[in-house]
Amino acid sequence: MNKYLLQLGHCPDASFAEIVAVNERLSIQSESLERHGDVCLLHAPSSEIIHSLCEELGGTIRAAEIFYHKKGSDFSSLDALTPERLCELLQSAQIDRRLMERKQRPVFGISLASAMETRSSRAVESLLSRTAVLLKEHLREQGVSCRFIQPDAQGKSYCLSGAQVEKNKLLQDGMEILLYMHPRDGLYLASTIWLQHYEEYSRRDYGRPGRDSRSGMLPPKLARIMINLVRTTTTSTLLDPFCGSGGIVTEAGIMGLQAVGLDKSSKAVADTIQNWEWLQSNLPSSQGDVRAIQGDARNLHTLCEPLFFDACACEPYLGPPTNKPLDPGRFEALTRELIPLYLRALAEIRIVVKPGSRVAFIAPRFRLKGDKEIGSLALLSAIKLQGYAILEPLAGFKPSNGRTTLIYSRPKQVVQREIFVLKA
């Protein structure tokens, strides 16, 4: 059994919850899953299995195969490492042999797996670039002539960009060496084997023809996370009763599901159909089937057959777009408007999904003016009263933040997304 490292996207809780769900569905060694901040470690029998797991995921950025582990508290933070020490460790891990196996004059790069690094960016950059210089010199002495590339400084990430890895063919002919300092377990060295298809996601996000930026469009990566949170081995039909321009249903179609989108706006229905046609001609591998109908989510039972769907995922109307924190009075008024819509829609969803189906539902949380920083909608007890079980996607995994829901948001975002995962 080999050990692998998955680098989680910008909302690591949601990305990890997605891995847990897909791992369960594909039955891959779930007992070995371990998570620390923005990194997940797991065992798997082969890198092919990791590839197939990652191809399903929307929230994971990279996968790497671990080839060296140095235990000890001295190696649990970058502080104890000098370029000389790190270069020695890379030599102990037989990096020269590994690179020689690749190609004449291979290219390598050194990235940090976790962005949760406390050292200053300058110190990290200097450690990585001086180590690369030392390693190149050492390799030349061993008769291996190679070239290295350095991460473009991007905020707090010390990783090569996907474009750098691809342009320099590091996965095929060279190596991206990923360093990971486990908080208790020492240093891991890994070699990247899979990268998220960032260009395809970006094309689906910004290139789709039917758009409505005012009502908000779900990024395809989040759409995929939502679908994975509700999909089980028996899921073939999925409903989104607030489909907008079809972010969730079209992603479900790419994933091979039969998806039905409903929206009260005729433009949203036309956008969804247009986007699905566009995707079918641009991504011919999309095997599923997508339909869109106009209607009100508060009347679902009149529009859809009872107990028909295997799963439901949606982002309803979140209130008018705003980029300014709300004053408490405005928040109260929005609460009075949104809660009845959500509870009514959830009651209707329960009629049209099969018993035991999972439902992923996004509700907004708002940044507020004044002392109380965040205002969330008090939905949990009413949802339970409707007969739903609240699934806790991260229960049983440490570190637990005690939350029942998942937050998907950028720091300081005014309207944040809170994902409820329910069982009907």
Q: How far apart are CA 151 and CA 146, in angstroms?
A: 17
Whichever of 82 and 282 has its CB closer to ligand SAM, that residue is: 282
Q: What are phi and psi of 82, to 5 degrees?
A: -110, 165
**In the complex, minimum distance from the CB of residue 329 to ligand SAM, in angstroms, rounded to a whole number:** 23
Q: Which two tokens stand for residue 145?
A: 């002539």
Residue 261, CA atoms < 13 Å, CB-side half-sphere: 33
Calculate ∠ Cα 72-74-80, nearest 5°: 155
Q: What are phi and psi of 242, to 5 degrees?
A: -130, 65
Whichever of 186 and 216 has its CB closer to ligand SAM, that residue is: 216
Q: Which two tokens stand for residue 395?
A: 């229960």
Which residues does 294 contact at the CB level (< 8 Å), separation at least 6? 262, 263, 264, 265, 266, 269
Q: What is the identity of the amino acid at 112? A: L
Whichever of 118 and 213 has its CB closer to ligand SAM, that residue is: 213
**In the complex, minimum distance from the CB of residue 296 to ligand SAM, in angstroms, rounded to a whole number:** 4
Cis peptide before 340 (omega within 30 of 0): no
Whichever of 106 and 244 has its CB closer to ligand SAM, that residue is: 244
Q: Is 378 exposed, middle or buried (0-12, 13-18, 19+ CB in 10 A)?
A: exposed
**In the complex, minimum distance from the CB of residue 392 to ligand SAM, in angstroms, rounded to a whole number:** 24
Whichever of 174 and 220 has its CB closer to ligand SAM, that residue is: 220
**In the complex, minimum distance from the CB of residue 318 to ligand SAM, in angstroms, rounded to a whole number:** 6
Q: Which residues bind ligand SAM (CB under 6 A)?
A: 215-218, 241-245, 247-248, 262-265, 268, 296-298, 315-318
Determine the 3-state secondary structure of 91 from DSSP. helix
Three-state secondary structure of 251-269: HHHHCCCEEEEEECCHHHH
Cβ–Cβ < 8 Å for 235, 312: no
Whichever of 3 and 264 has its CB closer to ligand SAM, that residue is: 264
Neighbouring CB atoms inside 10 A of 421's CB total 24
Whichever of 90 and 297 has its CB closer to ligand SAM, that residue is: 297
Whichever of 215 and 416 has its CB closer to ligand SAM, that residue is: 215
**In the complex, minimum distance from the CB of residue 255 to ligand SAM, in angstroms, rounded to a whole number:** 15
**In the complex, minimum distance from the CB of residue 312 to ligand SAM, in angstroms, rounded to a whole number:** 12
Q: What is the identity of the amino acid at 386? A: Q
By C-alpha distance, which of 179, 20, 7, 18 is closest to 93?
179
**In the complex, minimum distance from the CB of residue 30 to ligand SAM, in angstroms, rounded to a whole number:** 29
**In the complex, minimum distance from the CB of residue 323 to ligand SAM, in angstroms, rounded to a whole number:** 16
